[in-house]
Amino acid sequence: MASPTTSSLRWLLLAGLLAASTLAAAAEWKRGIEGQRIADQGDGSFLNPVLAGDHPDPSVLKDGDDYYLTLSSFDAYPGLPIWHSRDLVNWQPLGHAISENVGAIWAPDLVKHGTRYYIYFPARRGEQGQRSNFVVWADAITGPWSAPIDIGLGKYIDPGHAVGEDGKRYLFLSGGDYVQLSDDGLKVVGTPRHVYDWWMLYHGYENGYWTLGRQALLDPIEWTADGWFVAKGGDLGTPLKKPSGQALAHGLALSDDFRSGRLGPQWAFFNPGRDEDRRLSFGDGTLSVQGKGRAPRDSSPLTVIATDPAYQFEVEMQIEPGAQGGALLFYSERLYAGVGSNGEAFVMHRYGEERPAQLAPSAKSGRLWLRVRNDRHIVTIHSSRDGSTWTKYPVQMEVSGYHHNVAGKFLALKPALYAAGNGKVHFRHFRYRALE
């Protein structure tokens, strides 16, 4: 894929090799749920990204008139989110394919063979940990999905399912190798061997907003006479002609009134333990979270994927004695920013460190409201005792460096809630809103 000659780069594209495309700033976004930017312009055109926020390594399955997509979820669980579309532009969430923590998941392959759905993916525990490949399956795309099955092949990544002319099933692997699968697709047969109108869904960083993670992009491609594909989209900042297909209602609301009695599909724990869900309880519009660890870094905070360069979120909290809770912009256990409280005193979280702070007003009987505003990497904190009158913390934070090039791990900066210590933190009325 050729690099562009223009200098107005806004996206750095990572799809195995590093390439680049241009993105102009002139187009005006349409707005959807909570004011979030959406791809469908309503006039037969669309703007990239089609899935804003951190949606890397998209794998797409066409099943009749429907498209289904999953993507790398890394340390977030539930993992392997499933999205549904009929036009490749507007996407609806369907749920997740895995809840058991098998490590950081990336580069999945979603396929259908016969009447059954499969997802093949590599996973690794810890940055230098053991690596393997797994498969999960379901008879319906909405689940229930099987427990993850370890099929080995630890030296390989990027599994891709294929069916040969002989009707047998294979996995193509990194390095140009392939291996035969059993008829049910759940184990390896033999040893790997070496071999050697279209659209492409891939991921890219938005220039200046690496904190949003690797966003899902849609680009038309064409095949050259000698068998290479070439992206035709050019400037990804201008509207492109949409693929044919029915437009579904697009996007996922991030706000939560906690009245469903279960954790909403927008939420994911960071690096959870096996029984992390046991920390949660619901009742009368309240999410109660048992404290874990001593600070955000070891509390497995609950996170959502931000979709816009500017947004704010707020939440009401009731903090039990012995507990500490707060609102964060969370990248990893080593890099986060925000504010927390034990119901009496406040603590500011900056660069993954905890520092005492004076916010006015203080919590009243352990109850307070917090608001975090991220306006293009300038973070402002507000607190309130009643949810109506807000007091601004006098010191702002700058978070443009909270991304992979600084901290590694290919993650994104996410709005988050945490509960630490020995008691519970009760959350109500989580509200997210994208800003112009």
Q: What is the pLDDT of residue 297?
A: 97
Left if phi > 0, otherwise alpha if psi is -120 to 50, otherwise beta: which for 241?
beta
Least confident of 218-222, 302-306, 353-357: 353-357
Indicate the pLDDT class of residue 355, thresholds 50, 70 and 90: confident
Please tell me the distance from the alpha carbon of residue 107 to that of residue 203, in angstroms, as a whole number: 11
Triad 204, 233, 308: Cα angle to 5°: 40
Please tell me the distance from the alpha carbon of residue 406 to that of residue 413, in angstroms, as a whole number: 12
| Tens digits of residue pLDDT in 289-324 | 999 999 999 999 999 999 999 999 999 999 999 999
Least confident of 117-131, 240-254, 336-350, 352-366: 352-366
Region 151-180: what's the mean pLDDT?
95
Indicate the pLDDT class of residue 360, thresholds 50, 70 and 90: low
Q: What is the pLDDT of residue 27?
A: 80
Please list, in sequence order, all residues whose beta carbon lies within 8 angstroms of the beta carbon of residue 214, skipping any fewer than 6 positions away: 14, 54, 55, 56, 57, 203, 204, 205, 410, 412
Domains of the chain are 9-241 (2.115.10.20), 268-434 (2.60.120.200)
Q: What is the pLDDT of residue 234?
A: 81
pLDDT beyond 90 at 15 = no
Q: Give the residue, 126 or 222, on which the prediction is more confident.
A: 222
Indicate the pLDDT class of residue 361, thresholds 50, 70 and 90: low
pLDDT beyond 80 at 11 = no
Region 128-139: what's the mean pLDDT?
94
Q: What is the pLDDT of residue 101?
A: 97
| Tens digits of residue pLDDT in 41-63 | 999 999 999 999 999 999 999 99
Q: What is the pLDDT of residue 244?
A: 85
Q: What is the pLDDT of residue 223?
A: 83
**Size of the chain in residues:** 436
| Tens digits of residue pLDDT in 86-111 | 999 999 999 999 999 999 999 999 99
Q: For the whole model, what pTM was predicted?
A: 0.83
Q: What is the pLDDT of residue 13?
A: 38
Mean residue pLDDT of the chain comes to 91
**Residue in the block written with tokens 């048992």:** 290
Q: Give the residue, 272 or 360, on which the prediction is more confident.
A: 272
Region 330-342: what's the mean pLDDT?
96
Output the six-digit token pair for 200.
């492409």
Q: What is the pLDDT of residue 140?
A: 99
pLDDT beyond 60 at 81 = yes
Indicate the pLDDT class of residue 18, thresholds 50, 70 and 90: very low
Indicate the pLDDT class of residue 212, thresholds 50, 70 and 90: very high
Indicate the pLDDT class of residue 19, thresholds 50, 70 and 90: very low
Q: What is the pLDDT of residue 232?
A: 85
Indicate the pLDDT class of residue 196, thresholds 50, 70 and 90: confident
pLDDT beyond 70 at 4 = no
| Tens digits of residue pLDDT in 369-428 | 999 999 999 999 999 999 999 999 989 999 999 999 999 999 999 999 999 999 999 999
